[in-house]
Amino acid sequence: MEIEVNGKNIQLSEAGWMEDLSEWNEDIAVKIAAEVEDIPELSEEHWDIIKLTRSAFEDLNQVAEPRKFMKMMKAEFGKDRSTNKYIFSLFPKGGLIKSANKIAGLPRPKGCS
Handedness of CA 40, 43, 45, 46 (dihedral sign): positive
pLDDT in tens, 39-49: 999 999 999 99
Q: Residue 9 belongs to what domain range?
A: 2-35
Residues 87 and 54 both lie in one domain: yes
* Catalytically annotated residues: 112
The closest of 100, 76, 50 to 108, measured between CA atoms, is 100
Instruction: Assign residue 19 the CATH number of its domain.
Output: 3.30.1420
Reference 32, options 112, 111, 94; nearest CA is 94
Residue 63's pLDDT band, with cuts at 50, 70 and 90, is confident
Q: What is the pTM of this model?
A: 0.91
pLDDT tops 80 at residue 113: no
pLDDT for 108 beyond 80: yes
Q: Is residue 64 situated within a structural domain? A: yes
